[in-house]
Structure 1
C-alpha cells in the first residue's frame, strides 16, 4: 500500500509541476511548442486562446452560391471548409473557428481581425487562377473577362464550366457584357506555391509563384512560342496583370506585378496558394463583433472567480477539517491541470466556456463531498479510520461515476449539436465542462485519496476523529 501511495504521489507531483510550468504567463521555448504537432504550425503556442466575445473580431456566414433547390455535395462543402481554413491560417489569424453549418453553410469566426473587408474578399473568392492568351491585346488590370474555363453571362456569373481537377461551377460578381472568350493556357492547378515579394527597384509589393514540374514545362513551351505577345493573369475572371513575354520563361517561377498594397498582395497570394473552391460561396451574413467584456470587466470576472474559489476552500476547511484541507490541495491541482489542458489542446475560451469550467469546479468539489460524507458515516458507525477511508471511497464511487457519466453524455450531445449546427457557443461550453469533469474524476479519486493515505502513513490520527469532522 505504501509503495502504491508513493507512486501516486510522485505522479501527482510531476503533473502538478507540469501544470504550474504551463500555466506561467511566459514565452515557452520553441522546442516545447514544436511538440504540439496537433496544433496548426502557424499558431502553435502555449497561450490562452480568446474567442470573439472576449476579444472581438469578425463573424462571417458563407453559403454555397447555387440555384435554390439544387443539392450541394457534402464532400464539396467539406473541401471548401478546408480551403477556407487554409486561407484563414495563411492570413495569420490566431484562434479562428471554421465549421460547417447544415448542408451548405460555413461559419467563420476571426478574433482580432484588423481589416474585415479584405478578409471577407479573401474568404469568399473562388480562387480560380488562370493564365489566358490575349495575343496583342492589353487588358487593363481589373477588367472582367470570359475564358474557355467557363464563360460570363450578362450578370457576371460564370456558366458552362468544365472541371479543373476538383474545381467546377465558379461564380464571379459584377455586371459584365463579354465580347471575347479568351483561351486559358494554365490554371492554378499548375501552381505549387505562391507568396509575397517586393520589387528590387521600386520596393512595390508583388506576388511570386512557383509552378509544378508539369506546369513549368507547359509555361516554358508557351512562352517560347509566343515571345513578344501578351499573357494576362486572371483571378476569378478579373485581370491582375497583362505582362508582355520578353523571353522564354523556363525556370518554373514567375511574378505578378500591379498596384497592390502589401495586404492585397498577401491576400491574393493566399487565394492562389490554397487553390480554387469546389463550390462558389457567397456571404450570407457578416458582422463585426466587439468584445462584450472590456479589460476591466474581464479583470473583475477573474477576481470574482478567485473569490468564489477561496470561499469554497474555506468552507471545505471549516466543515471537513483535515480532509477538506487535502481536498483544497487537490482542487488547486485540478485547476492547474485543466488550465494546462486548455493551452495544450488548445481550447478557445468564450464566456460560455468559462461558465462550463466554473460548473466543473463545483462538480469536482461535489465528488469530494460525497466521499467525505461516506467516510463520516463509516466513522460514526465505529469503523477504524483507515477502513473508513477505503470504504468511503468505494461506496461513493458509484454515485460519482454515474453522475459524471451522465454529464459527459450530455457534453457529447451538446458538442455534436454545436459542431453540426454552427452553435459554437454550445460547443465551447460542452468542451470545457467535459475536460473539467474528466480531470475532476482523477483529482477526486486519485489525488485526494493519495493525500489521505499519505497523512495516515505518517501521522497517528486514529484517536482524534475531530480532524475528520466527526
Structure 2
C-alpha cells in the first residue's frame, strides 16, 4: 500500500478531531450529572442549577474558556425520543391566507369554493390552492371571476389585481402571494424558536406544501411550546366600553334569554317528570333529588345568563371598570353562545351594534374565573392600531420590580396613532388584544406621545418572554395548525438511553468476541478498526450537529454488524489466496485489491448507501436520524476496513510472516464448498411462491396494523403502578369516548398503548388537553390515590417513577395520507435506483431483475409476516415510518448480499471463460457462502441483542429487521441468482 505515512497521519488527525468533539459530550454529561446530584430528584432545582451555570466558564472541568451553554451546543444532540421533547409538523392555513387576501369576502361562490376545497383536501395529495382553483371553476361556471371586486379585486390587492384580469392571471398572483405568506410564516416561526431557548432546535420547510417541521429536543414545557407555535400573534389595540355602559344591556339580555328559553325549559321539565314518575313513587330519595333538580331548573329558567355569568354593574363612579363581567372558564362557551344570539344582540343600543365580547387571556390568579370585556369594534372589524407598528418588545418588570410585563416600542406611524388614541380616551379604557384574547385593558391617565407602552396581565416570566418574542418576531400571516405531533416525556427518553446503551454494549461485545474466535489475530485488528469506526461515527455526528435518535442508535448498532462485512470479505479473499499457495504479503495485496475484495465492498456499500439516501429524502424526524447514522456508518466503515485494518495487517505481516486468518477451531470452515444451488432452485421457487401467496392472502384479508402515521389518530403510551388488562381498560374508556379505543400492552404489563381517532379532525391545543383529561378521568380506578392531572399528563419534566402519559403522538388524516404516499414512493424509489445502479455496474438487465425480484420477494414476505402475526405476538407490530425504515434497510442489506454474490459470478465469468454459465453461477454462490453466513450471523446476533435488551418502542422495528435479514440471506442464494440465470437466455445450457 502506497502513502502509508499520509494515511497514518490522516487517521491519527481524524481520530483526534473526533475525540475532541466527543469530549464536549463527556463534559456536558459531567455537568448535568452534577446538577442531578445537587437537585436530589427535584426537577425545578436541577433546572435552576443548570440555568445558574449556563454562562459560567467551566474551569473545574476540562475546558476553561467555554461556558456550559457553549459546551451544550457542541455536545452530541440527542433526539426527542432519547431526551424527551416535542416534534411537530405545522401547516399554515392557505384557506386563512385566501380569506385575508379577499378581505374576508362574503361572496357565496368564493366561500362555497373554500368549503369544497377544505373537504377535498382530506382525501387528496394536491395543494389546497389548486383544490380551491378547481372548486371555484366548478362553482362559478364562468359567471364569477376571481378578479371580482367582492373577492380579490379589492382595496388590499388594488395594485396587483384589477377587474379586467382573467382567472389565470389572478391565479398566478395568488400563487405568489400564498408562497410569500408561507415564507413569512416560516421566518416568524424560526425567529420564535430561535428565541425559545432549547438546545439544537430544528426547523425545516417541507417543500411548497405550506408545512413546517419543528423538532425541539429537551423542551421542558409542552403546553408553552404548543401555544408558541400555533399563536398567530395578531396584536390589536381597541377602545372598550366600561361596565357602566354595558350594565343595562346585560340586564335586558338576561330577561330576554329567560323568555326565549322558558318554553324549552318547560318541555325538558315535562320530559323529566314523565320519565321519573313511576320511579319517584317507589323511592322517596328520588323525590328529594327531583326537587333539587326542579329548583335548579327554575333558577336557570328565571336567570339563564346570570346563573353562569356574573355581570359587573357599578354602584357608583368609583366602580367603573373595563371588566364587564366574569364567568367560570368551563362556562365561557355557553356565555359566548348566548351573547351571539340574534335576539340578544338586537338589544344593543345603536351606537354599540358592532360590540364584540372577548375574554381575558387567563383566569384570575388561583381561581377558575375569567373576566369578560366589551370591545368597540366596527363594521369591518379592523382595529385602530395593529401589531405591524411594533418595532421592538421585551420582557421587563413593573415599577415595583416584581410583576413581569412586556414593554413595547412603536415605529413613527404607530407612535402617532397611539398618541391620538390615548389622547381621545383619557379617563377611559383601552384594551391590548392578542389573538382575540385581552391581555390588559388599563385606564388611560393621559396621552402617550412617544409610542412606548407596557402590557401587564398577571404574567409569569416565561409568559411575558414568550409574548415579547411573538411580538418581536411578527404575526403569522395565517393560523398554523399542528397536523402531526409527537411528544416524549423525559423519563421515557432516559429509559431509551439506558436500554440503547445496554443493547449497544452487548452487541459490541458479541461481535468483538466472534471476530477473535473466527479470525484469531486478524480478528483483533478488525475489532480495533470497528472501535475506531464507532469513534468516527460519533465524532462526525457531533461535529456536524446531527441529531442522534433511537432509530439512529439502532443504525449505529446495525453498522457494527454490517461494518465487519468489509473485513470478512477481505479476510475470506486473503484465505483463498493463501489456499492457492500464495505467500502472505501477496495474498494480503490480493485481498485488499480492487480485483479482490474492493469491487464487491464498494458495490455492496453503495447500494446500501443509496437506500439510506432514499430514507433521508422521504423520511422525517427519527427516520432521518436513522438514515444519517446509516450513511455515515457506511462511509466510515469503508475507511476503517480499507485503510486502518490494512495498516495493522501490513505491520503484523512484516513482523510475523506466519500470520493466519483463522483459529484451530475455524480452520477450513466454510471452505471448498460446492453446492448445486441452481438444481435446488425449483424447490426454492415453490417455497417462496407459497410464502408469497400466503402473504398476499393475509394482506388482503387480515390487512396490516397501520399506525397513526398512516391512518391518522392519537397514540398514548400510559404507564400504571400495577399490571393492567388491556381489554378491561378498552371497555372502561368506551364509556368515555363513545367508541372503544385500540388498547394493547406495550412492553411491560403495567404499560399500555392507546390509539383513538376521537376528534382527530380537531387538532387544537384545547382538544389535545381535553382528551388527556378524559383519559385521566376515565382511568381513575387504575391510578394510585393522590394522582393529579398535572402529574398524569405528558411533560418533559417527568420524574423517574412517573405514572401517567409517557409518550403522545398525533397525526391528522391529511398528513397521514401524505406519509403513506411518501412511504410507497420510498420503497419503489429505492428499488428503481438500485435497478439502475446494478444495470450500470453489471451491464446486464438480468442482474438488475434478479436483484429487484429478490428485494420484492423479501419486502412482501416481511409484510406478510407482520400481517399474519400482529394480533398474536406480544409486542407492537404497527406499520409506521420506523417500519418503513426497517423495510428499506432490509432492502439495502438484501442487495448488499446479492451484489457480493453477483460480483463473484461476474469475476468467474471473465476469469473462467471455458466454464459453462451453470457452473459459474454455482461456484460464485458457493465461494461466497462463508462470507454470507458469517456476516448474516453476526448481524442477526446484533439485532437480537437490540430486540431483547432494547426499548419497547424499537421491538417492532428490530423484528422487521431480523425477519428481513433472514429472508434476505435466503433470497440472495436461492432467488436472485437463479432468476438472473433463468433470464439469461443467450447463455442457456443443458443442466
| Fold match (TM-score > 0.5) | yes
Instruction: Output aligned runs, 1:252-267, within 5 Å.
Output: 254-267=453-466
User: CA contact under 8 A between 1:135 and 1:229: conserved in structure 2?
Assistant: no
In the alignment, the residues of structure 2 paired with residue 347 and residue 222 of structure 1 have an alpha-carbon distance, to the nearest angstrom, of: 48
The answer to whether structure 1 residue 15 and structure 2 residue 121 are counterparts is: no
Instruction: Give the deviation of 1:104 after TM superposition.
Output: 4.7
Instruction: Give the deviation of 1:453 after TM superposition.
Output: 3.2
Partner SS, residue 236 of structure 2: strand
Instruction: Output aligned runs, 1:28-47, within 5 Å.
Output: 29=63, 45-47=73-75
User: CA contact under 8 A between 1:142 and 1:238: conserved in structure 2?
Assistant: no
User: Which of these residues, 48, 57, 60, is aligned with residue 76 of structure 2?
Assistant: 48
Runs (5+) with no aligned partner, structure 2: 29-61, 96-113, 119-127, 130-177, 246-320, 327-339, 342-357, 361-371, 668-991
Deviations 1:195-229 (CA, angstroms, capped at 9, x unpaired): 21112414110113345xxx1x2244345556644
Structure 1 match to 2:660:
466
In the alignment, the residues of structure 2 paired with residue 29 and residue 43 of structure 1 have an alpha-carbon distance, to the nearest angstrom, of: 9
Partner SS, residue 466 of structure 1: coil
In the alignment, the residues of structure 1 paired with residue 72 and residue 182 of structure 2 have an alpha-carbon distance, to the nearest angstrom, of: 26
Structure 1 match to 2:561:
362
Aligned length: 426
In the alignment, the residues of structure 2 paired with residue 448 and residue 396 of structure 1 have an alpha-carbon distance, to the nearest angstrom, of: 13
Instruction: Give the deviation of 1:179 after TM superposition.
Output: 5.7
Change (3 A) 1:47 1:286: same
Structure 2 match to 1:330:
529
User: CA contact under 8 A between 1:196 and 1:269: conserved in structure 2?
Assistant: yes
The answer to whether structure 1 residue 417 and structure 2 residue 618 are counterparts is: yes
The answer to whether structure 1 residue 398 and structure 2 residue 599 are counterparts is: yes
Instruction: Output aligned runs, 1:3-402, within 5 Å.
Output: 4-24=3-23, 25-27=26-28, 29=63, 45-65=73-93, 66=95, 67-68=114-115, 69=117, 71-72=128-129, 73=178, 76-99=181-204, 103-132=209-238, 180-181=377-378, 184=383, 186-211=385-410, 215=411, 217-223=412-418, 225=420, 228-230=423-425, 232-242=431-441, 244=444, 246=446, 248-250=448-450, 254-284=453-483, 288-290=487-489, 293=492, 295=494, 298-394=497-593, 395-402=596-603
Q: CA RMSD in A?
A: 3.9
Instruction: Give the deviation of 1:338 after TM superposition.
Output: 0.9
Greater radius of gyration (CA): 2
User: CA contact under 8 A between 1:141 and 1:242: conserved in structure 2?
Assistant: no
TM-score under structure 1 length normalisation: 0.77
Instruction: Give the deviation of 1:85 after TM superposition.
Output: 3.5
Change (3 A) 1:357 1:88: same
Instruction: Output aligned runs, 1:438-453, within 5 Å.
Output: 438-453=635-650
Instruction: Give the deviation of 1:108 after TM superposition.
Output: 4.1
Runs (5+) with no aligned partner, structure 1: 35-40, 144-153, 156-171
Greater relative contact order (Cα 8 A, min sep 6): structure 1 or 2?
Answer: 1
Change (3 A) 1:287 1:299: closer
User: CA contact under 8 A between 2:90 and 2:213: conserved in structure 1?
Assistant: yes
User: CA contact under 8 A between 1:61 and 1:105: conserved in structure 2?
Assistant: yes
Partner SS, residue 234 of structure 1: strand
User: CA contact under 8 A between 1:356 and 1:429: conserved in structure 2?
Assistant: yes
Q: Which has the higher strand share?
A: 1
Deviations 1:43-101 (CA, angstroms, capped at 9, x unpaired): 96122333333333345453444344162545544543443343233222334454556
Structure 1 match to 2:871:
none
TM-score under structure 2 length normalisation: 0.39
Partner SS, residue 27 of structure 2: coil
In the alignment, the residues of structure 2 paired with residue 6 and residue 92 of structure 1 have an alpha-carbon distance, to the nearest angstrom, of: 46
User: CA contact under 8 A between 2:88 and 2:485: conserved in structure 1?
Assistant: yes
Instruction: Give the deviation of 1:26 after TM superposition.
Output: 0.5
Structure 2 match to 1:437:
634
User: CA contact under 8 A between 1:141 and 1:238: conserved in structure 2?
Assistant: no
Q: Which has the higher helix share?
A: 2
User: CA contact under 8 A between 2:241 and 2:375: conserved in structure 1?
Assistant: no
Change (3 A) 1:362 1:31: farther
Higher mean C-alpha deviation, range 9-18 or range 109-118? 109-118
